[in-house]
Amino acid sequence: MDAHALKNDFTVLRNQTLTYLDTAASSLKPDVVLEAMNAYYHNNPVNVHRGVYEMSHVATKHYEQARRDIANFINADFEEVVFTRGASSALNLVALTWGEQNLQAGDEIVTSMLEHHSHLLPWQQLAKRKKASLVYVPLNAEGRITEAALKKVITKRTKILTLTYVSNTLGYKTPLEPIIKIAKAHGIKTSIDAAQAVPHTPVDVKKLDCDFLAFSGHKMCGPSGIGVLYAKRELLDKLDPLEYGGDMNDRVGLYDVEVKRPPYKFETGTPPIAEAIGLARAVQYLSKIGLEKIANHEHHLATLAIAGLQSIEGVTIYNPTTDTGIVNFNFDGVHPHDAVTVFDEASVALRAGHHCAQLVLKFLEVSATLRASFYLYNTEEDVQHFIKTVASARRFFTKVGF
Amino acid sequence: MDAHALKNDFTVLRNQTLTYLDTAASSLKPDVVLEAMNAYYHNNPVNVHRGVYEMSHVATKHYEQARRDIANFINADFEEVVFTRGASSALNLVALTWGEQNLQAGDEIVTSMLEHHSHLLPWQQLAKRKKASLVYVPLNAEGRITEAALKKVITKRTKILTLTYVSNTLGYKTPLEPIIKIAKAHGIKTSIDAAQAVPHTPVDVKKLDCDFLAFSGHKMCGPSGIGVLYAKRELLDKLDPLEYGGDMNDRVGLYDVEVKRPPYKFETGTPPIAEAIGLARAVQYLSKIGLEKIANHEHHLATLAIAGLQSIEGVTIYNPTTDTGIVNFNFDGVHPHDAVTVFDEASVALRAGHHCAQLVLKFLEVSATLRASFYLYNTEEDVQHFIKTVASARRFFTKVGF
Amino acid sequence: MQKMEHLYRQIIMDHYKNPRHKGLKDDSSFVTHRHKNPSCGDDITIQSRVENGIVKEIRHDGTGCSICCSSASVVADLLTNKTVDEARSLIHNYIKMIADQPFEQEDALEDALAYEGVKQFPARIKCATIAWKALEATLDEEEGETVE
Amino acid sequence: MQKMEHLYRQIIMDHYKNPRHKGLKDDSSFVTHRHKNPSCGDDITIQSRVENGIVKEIRHDGTGCSICCSSASVVADLLTNKTVDEARSLIHNYIKMIADQPFEQEDALEDALAYEGVKQFPARIKCATIAWKALEATLDEEEGETVE
Ligand SMILES: Cc1ncc(COP(=O)(O)O)c(C=O)c1O
Ligand SMILES: Cc1ncc(COP(=O)(O)O)c(C=O)c1O
C-alpha cells in the first residue's frame, strides 16, 4: 500500500498543507465516498421502501445493497446490520433494549476504565436504574484489559461484558477472542465497542462470536450521520424495539402494532440513505486497500513516532506499546491545550483533552493528554514532521518558561 | 416566485424528464445544499467540539451556526434545537423522555387518526407500558381535527396532546393555535409533528406556544440523516436524557455523571455535522424564496390538480379541500400500485400505499391510495402533465378491463 | 402504452377478475404461509396440501394489486397436481423469468408466461413473485426445512 | 514561532506560574460561579464579593491551559476595587479585543492587554474568556439578574 498515493484520494490533503493526526476523532473522507453520495442526490434523491415507482426502487436497491456490503465487511448477515445515527447511538441501543429488557436488580455488568463515554455511560446509567452493579475489570500496569483479570471479576451474577475492542486513548487491542469464549461458557452476553477497530483492522463478527458490536461511519472514511449496530439475529428477533413509527411495522391498529423482522424493526423513519451509500463506498475503498495492510501501516508509523518521542526529553508517552496507530503523550509541565496550538501553527492536527474517556485519564492520573492517531493517508514524512514539531515545541515551551 | 427557474437549482430536474410529485415522502435537494456539505467534506472534514486546533474550531463554528440558523427559521432559541436522526427519532424522543418521566397509569394521551405512524406508535406503545389511555379525537366528516372535537375529549386526566400540524395523507392543517391555547389553559403539554409543516409554511414555535415540535431535513430540501426536535428550554432543562455518552457530559465518574446543558445533553456522540450544515443551507434557500410564497404556490397547484381530477370520471378524490400541496385520490376499481406504474411510465413520480398512516385509510375505508404532493419546483405544466396522465391511465384501465 | 399493455395481458386481468382457488380452508392438512410486501401493503396468504409428494390442492386469499392477486390464482392453477419437485422447478424458472435471467420450461409455465412483461418493471417484481414465494415457503415447511 | 511568542507573553506566563488571588473562600458573602469549556476540560471557578457597588474581592481556582488559568489571575487583579459598572465595561472591552473587534479603554486593560495575541488563534478564544465570563456571571447574580 502506498500512502503517498492515497493522499491524492482526499481533496483536503491535495488542497492544504496538513498533517492530519486526528483520525481517532474522525477520519478524512476520500472523494469517491462524496461522489457516491452526490450520485444519489443527483440521480435519484428520493425516499426508500415507500415508493413503487422506478426511481424509488433504484434508491431502495442501492440502500439495501449498501447494507449488504457493510454486512459482508464484518462477516455479518444482512439482517444483523442495523443502521443508527452513530456508534454512540448504537451502543445506547443495546443498553436501552437488551439491557432494559433483560437486566434485573443484583445483576452485574462488567466494564472497564478504558471505555469511551459512549460505551460506559449507557451501562452506568442502566445499572443505576436497575439497581444492578457496574463492575470494573482491573487494568494491568500498562492499562490493558487481560483475560486473567477478566476471569477474576466474572461471577454467577455477571450478565454482560461491555468492552472496547480498541481503546481510543491508549490504542490497546483487547484480547476479545479468549474473553468472549469465557463469556459464552458462562452464558454471559457481550457488547463490543468497535468504533476504533472496524476502521483499522479486519473484524469478523462470526469469528469473534460477540453478541453486539458497534461502529461509526465517520471514523472509517465514511460520512457523518451514520453508525452500525451489529447484533446476532436471534437477539434481534427477541428484542422489542426502542423506537416505533413508520417503516418498522407491518400493520398498525388503533391500539396495537405488528412489527417487521430485523433489521427493519429497529429502524423507524426515513433512514440515512445517502449516508449508508457513502459508508458502503468507504467500505469498498478500505477493502480494496486491505485492512491488514492498513493495520500494519498505522502501527509502523506509531512505532516510528514513539521512537521519535522517546528521543526528546521532557515528553511522557503513556502507551509505548500501542497495538495500533494511536500514540498518547504529554509535554511535562505543559497543558495539552497550550501544546496543541503549537502543532496547529505547524499544520499538525492533534487531539488534546480527555478523549471522551475520562476514566482512562483517572487511571493515568493526568487531567488531559495529547493524542496522535495515524491512518492510511499518513506517511513516514508525516511522522518526521510531527517529531520535528514536538522537538521545536519542547524548545519553545522551555524558552517561554513553562 | 418562479418555479420554472427554481427547477434549475436541482440537478435531477435538469438532467431528467421528471414530474416529481412525491415531495411529501422526500423532497429533492438543490445543488447549493450538496455544495455546502461538500465544502465541509473538502475543506474541514473533522470532528466538532473535540478539537482545539483551528480546523476543528472552524467545523464547530459552522455546525453551531447551522443550529442557530435552523433555530431562527422556526423562531426558537439556540438551546431549544436538538438534532436527531430524523422526525421519527425526534418524536420518539419526546415519548421516551417526557412521556416515560411524566406519565402514570390512568393518564390520558390525546391523539388522532390522522397521525403518521411515527407520531402515533411511540405514544401507543408508551400508553401500553404505562397503562395510560390513548384517546382518539374524533375527526369530522372531511377527516379534520377540529377545536370543537378536541374540547370534548379533554378531561382532567389528559396530560398531553400529540397532534400532527399537517396531515401527510390528506394535507389538512390542524387549527393548532386555538387548540394549544386550550391545552395550556388546562396544563396539558403538546407534542406537534411538523414534518409536513416546517418545509411548506412559516412555523413560529413561540407564537404556536407548543411544548415539543419535530421535523426532518430530507423533506425540506435538506439531506437525509438529520431531523430536529424543538422543545421549550424549561422542559429540556428538566428532562433526563435518553442516550448517554461522549460529548453530552461535563464530568464522568466511575458511578456517576454530570450532564451538559441543553441542547448538548440530548446529543451524545459525533453529531450529523455535514447534515446540519446542509440543512442550514436548505433553510436559507427556503427562506430566500419565502415560506408564504411556497405555501401559496403549492396550494394553487393542488387546487388546479383537484379541478382536473374532478373533470375525469372514475376517479375519487379524498381531500378536495386540502389546505396544502397534498392531493389524495384513487382510480375506482384499480389498485394504486397498478396505477402508479402507469404514472411511472409517464415519468410522474407518485406515492401509492398507506403513506405510513394506516389509520387515515381506516377512516377513509380504503386499503391504499395515490398521493400527489406539490412543492416549490413544481409548475402548472407539471399539473397539466399529471392530469393528462390521469386521463390516459383511466382510459387504459377501462380498456384492459379493470 | 405498449409496454403497459404487455404488462396487463388479458390472461392476467382474467385471473384478477375471476380468481381460481380463492378462499382459505380451515383444515389442518394444509400448510399456510402469509407474505407481505412491506413497501406497499400487498398481503397474500397461500395454503398447500401435499400428499405423497404431490401438491393436491392450493388455496389463496389476500389483497394487493392486479399483478399480485392474479399471480396467486395463476400459481395455484399451474401447480395443482404437480409433484413437489416439479412445482419447485417451475417456481424457480418463473422467478428467473421475472428477474430477466435465462430460464427453462417455457411451455410448462403456461399462463404464467403472461408475466414475462414484468421484467421491464423492476419495481413490480415483488408483486409478481410474492404468491410464488409464499407457496414455496409452504412446500419448504411440508418438507420440514427450516423456515424463517 | 513569532505568532506563538506573541501569544505566550511574559506577563501571561508570569500570572500562570504565580497566580494572584488563587484559592476559593468558604464565605457566603461571595458569589461563586463555575464555568467549563466542554470541548477541552478547562474548568474555572470564580468568586466575587461586591460591597456598595464595588468589587471588593475576587478569588479563583481551577484547572486548564496557561491562557485560561493565567487570565483568571489577571482578571482578578484588574477588577478588584473597580465599581461593578467599570468592571462590566472592562469585561466587554476585553472580550471585544479577543474577538478582534474595535474596543476601548486600552490603557485601563493593563496586563490584560497581553492577551491581544489570542485574536490570531480563534480556537483559543474560549480559553482566554472563560474566567472573565465566569466573573461576569457572578456580577449578574449579585445584581439579581436572571442567570442561566
Ligand atoms: C407527518 C409526518 N410525520 C413524520 C414523518 C417521519 O419522518 P422521517 O421519515 O423523516 O423520520 C413523516 C414522513 O414520512 C411525515 O410525513
Ligand atoms: C472507542 C469509541 N467508541 C465510541 C465512540 C463514539 O462514536 P461516535 O462519536 O461516532 O458516536 C468513539 C468516537 O469518539 C470511540 O472512539
Q: What phi, psi does B183 have (nearest 5°)?
A: -55, -50
A396 Cβ contact partners less than 8 Å away, ≥ 6 residues apart? A342, D1, D4, D5
CB A371 within 8 A of CB A26: no
CB A231 within 8 A of CB A84: no
Q: Over 90: is that where the pLDDT of C40 sits?
A: no
Question: Is A12 within a domain?
Answer: yes
Domain identity same for B184 and B313: no
Q: Report the relative pairing of strands B108-112 and B158-164 from DSSP bridges.
A: parallel
Specify the CATH number for the domain of residue B359.
3.90.1150.10
Place of cell 487511571: A363
Looking from the CA of residue B164, the nearest atom of ligand 1 is 1
C42 contacts on B by Cβ (under 8 Å)? 337
* Atom 12 (ligand 1) nearest CA: B195
Question: Is A217 within a domain?
Answer: yes
Taking the Cβ of residue B367 and every Cβ of chain C, the question of whether any pair is shorter than 8 Å is answered with: yes
How far apart are the C-alpha atoms of B364 and B216, rounded to whole Å? Answer: 27
pLDDT recorded at residue C39: 64
CB D106 within 8 A of CB D113: yes
Domain identity same for B152 and B187: yes
Domain final residue, candidates B288, B310, B335: B288
Q: Is B319 in the pocket of ligand 1 (CB under 6 A)?
A: no
Question: Is B33 within a domain?
Answer: no
Domain identity same for B373 and B230: no
Map residue B77 onto helix, strand or coil. Answer: coil
Q: What's the gap in Å between B86 CA and the centre of ligand 1?
A: 8
Distance from CA of A95 to the nearest CA of D (A): 25
Domain identity same for A267 and A306: no
Question: Is B36 within a domain?
Answer: no
Q: Over 70: is that where the pLDDT of D147 sits?
A: no
Band (pLDDT 50/70/90 cuts) for residue C146 is very low
A250 contacts on C by Cβ (under 8 Å)? 36, 38
Question: Is A230 within a domain?
Answer: yes
* Atom 14 (ligand 1) nearest CA: B25
pTM of the model: 0.95
Distance from CA of D8 to the nearest CA of A (A): 7
Distance from CA of C125 to the nearest CA of B (A): 12
Which of B118, B221, B328 has most ligand 1 atoms within 8 Å of its beta carbon, as the pocket-test mutant? B118
Q: Give burial (CB, 10 Å; 0-12/13-18/19+) of D99.
A: middle
Q: Is A167 in the pocket of ligand 2 (CB under 6 A)?
A: no
The residue length of chain B stands at: 402
% of chain B with per-residue pLDDT over 70: 100
Inter-chain touch D123–B52, beta carbons under 8 Å = yes
Average pLDDT, chain D: 91
CA quadruple A125, A248, B329, C11: dihedral, nearest 10:
180
The amino acid at B278: G
How far apart are the C-alpha atoms of A257 and D140, rounded to whole Å? Answer: 53
The residue length of chain A stands at: 402
Average pLDDT, chain C: 91
Domain identity same for A368 and A256: no
Total count of domains within chain B = 2
Average pLDDT over residues A379-392: 98
Q: Over 50: is that where the pLDDT of D84 sits?
A: yes
Q: Which residues pair with A352 in a beta bridge?
A: A370
A384 Cβ contact partners less than 8 Å away, ≥ 6 residues apart? A308
pLDDT recorded at residue C20: 96
Q: Is B50 in the pocket of ligand 2 (CB under 6 A)?
A: no
pLDDT digits (tens, 9 = 90+) for C69-102: 999 999 999 999 999 999 999 999 999 999 999 9
Map residue B386 onto helix, strand or coil. Answer: helix
The amino acid at B360: V
Which three cell numbers mark A362?
A: 483517572
Inter-chain touch C123–B344, beta carbons under 8 Å = yes
Map residue B167 onto helix, strand or coil. Answer: coil
CB B193 within 8 A of CB B87: yes
Whether C and D touch, i.e. at least 3 CB pairs below 8 A, reads as: no
Distance from CA of B151 to the nearest CA of C (A): 35
* Listed range (A51-65, B125-139, C32-46) with the worst mean pLDDT: C32-46
Neighbours of B142 (CB within 10 A): 12
Average pLDDT over residues A356-362: 93
> Which range marks the domain in which residue B218 is found?
44-288
Three-class DSSP labels, chain B: CCHHHHHCCCHHHHHCCCEECECCCCCCCCHHHHHHHHHHHHHCCCCCCCCCCHHHHHHHHHHHHHHHHHHHHCCCCHHHEEEECCHHHHHHHHHHHHHHHHCCCCCEEEEECCCCHHHHHHHHHHHHHHCCEEEEECCCCCCCCCHHHHHHHCCCCEEEEEEECECCCCCCECCHHHHHHHHHHCCCEEEEECCCCCCCCCCCHHHHCCCEEEEECCCCCCCCCCEEEEECHHHHHHCCCCCCCCCCEEEECCCCEEECCCCHHHCCCCCCHHHHHHHHHHHHHHHHHCHHHHHHHHHHHHHHHHHHHHCCCCEEECCCCCCCCEEEEEECCCCHHHHHHHHHHCCEECEEECCCCHHHHHHHCCCCEEEEECCCCCCHHHHHHHHHHHHHHHHHHHHHCC
CB B109 within 8 A of CB B162: yes
Q: Which of D15, D16, D17, D65 to mutate: most A Cβ within 10 Å?
A: D65
B345 contacts on C by Cβ (under 8 Å)? 1, 3-4
pLDDT digits (tens, 9 = 90+) for A131-143: 999 999 999 999 9
DSSP B50: S
pLDDT digits (tens, 9 = 90+) for D12-50: 999 999 999 999 999 999 999 999 876 667 889 999 999
Domain final residue, candidates B267, B288, B309: B288
Inter-chain touch A56–C123, beta carbons under 8 Å = yes
What are the CA-CA distances from residue A83 to residues A280, C30, C112 (Å)?
12, 39, 38
Three-class DSSP labels, D29-66: CCEEEEEEECCCCEEEEEEEEEECCEEEEEEEEEECCH
Domain identity same for B13 and B135: no
Domain final residue, candidates A273, A288, A303: A288
Average pLDDT over residues D53-68: 94
Q: Which of A57, A260, A261 lies nearest to residue C123, judging by beta carbons?
A: A57
A246 contacts on B by Cβ (under 8 Å)? 88, 116-118, 356
Map residue B329 onto helix, strand or coil. Answer: strand
Sign of CA dihedral B13, B17, B19, B23: negative
What structural domains does chain C harbor? Answer: 2-142 (3.90.1010.10)
Neighbours of A146 (CB within 10 A): 17
Domain identity same for A131 and A267: yes
How far apart are the C-alpha atoms of D70 and D57, rounded to whole Å? Answer: 17
Band (pLDDT 50/70/90 cuts) for residue D113 is very high
pLDDT recorded at residue B70: 98
What are the CA-CA distances from residue A175 to residues A24, A137, A168, B115, B323 (Å)?
20, 13, 15, 49, 61
Domain identity same for A99 and A160: yes
Domain identity same for A90 and A224: yes
DSSP B22: B
How far apart are the C-alpha atoms of B54 and D123, rounded to whole Å? Answer: 6
**Among candidate residues B231, B215, B212, the one with its CA nearest the CA of residue B286:** B215
The amino acid at B263: P
Inter-chain touch C3–B338, beta carbons under 8 Å = no
Specify the CATH number for the domain of residue B282.
3.40.640.10
* Listed range (A269-278, A313-322, C14-23, C34-43) with the worst mean pLDDT: C34-43
Q: Which residues pair with A222 in a beta bridge?
A: none
How far apart are the C-alpha atoms of B109 and B107, rounded to whole Å? Answer: 7
Question: Is B382 within a domain?
Answer: yes
Which three cell numbers mark D11?
A: 506577563
How far apart are the C-alpha atoms of B65 and A135, rounded to whole Å? Answer: 41
What are the CA-CA distances from residue A396 to residues A390, C42, D6, D115 (Å)?
10, 72, 12, 18
Ligand nearest to the CA of A85: 2
Domain identity same for B177 and B55: yes
pLDDT in tens, chain B (402 residues): 899 999 999 999 999 999 999 999 999 999 999 999 999 999 999 999 876 788 999 999 999 999 999 999 999 999 999 999 999 999 999 999 999 999 999 999 999 999 999 999 999 999 999 999 999 999 999 999 999 999 999 999 999 999 999 999 999 999 999 999 999 999 999 999 999 999 999 999 999 999 999 999 999 999 999 999 999 999 999 999 999 999 999 889 999 999 999 999 999 999 999 999 999 999 999 999 999 999 999 999 999 999 999 999 999 999 999 999 999 999 999 999 999 999 999 999 999 988 999 999 999 999 899 999 999 999 999 999 999 999 999 999 999 998
Domain identity same for A183 and A284: yes
Assess whether A210 carries a catalytic annotation. no
C4 Cβ contact partners less than 8 Å away, ≥ 6 residues apart? B341, B342, B345, B396
Question: Is B37 within a domain?
Answer: no
Taking the Cβ of residue D122 and every Cβ of chain B, the question of whether any pair is shorter than 8 Å is answered with: yes
Place of cell 430536474: B13
CB B83 within 8 A of CB B277: no
Catalytic residue among A39, A235, A349, A356: A356
Is the link from the previous residue into B223 a cis peptide, with omega within 30 of 0? no
Average pLDDT over residues A370-392: 98
Domain identity same for A270 and A299: no
Question: Is B378 within a domain?
Answer: yes
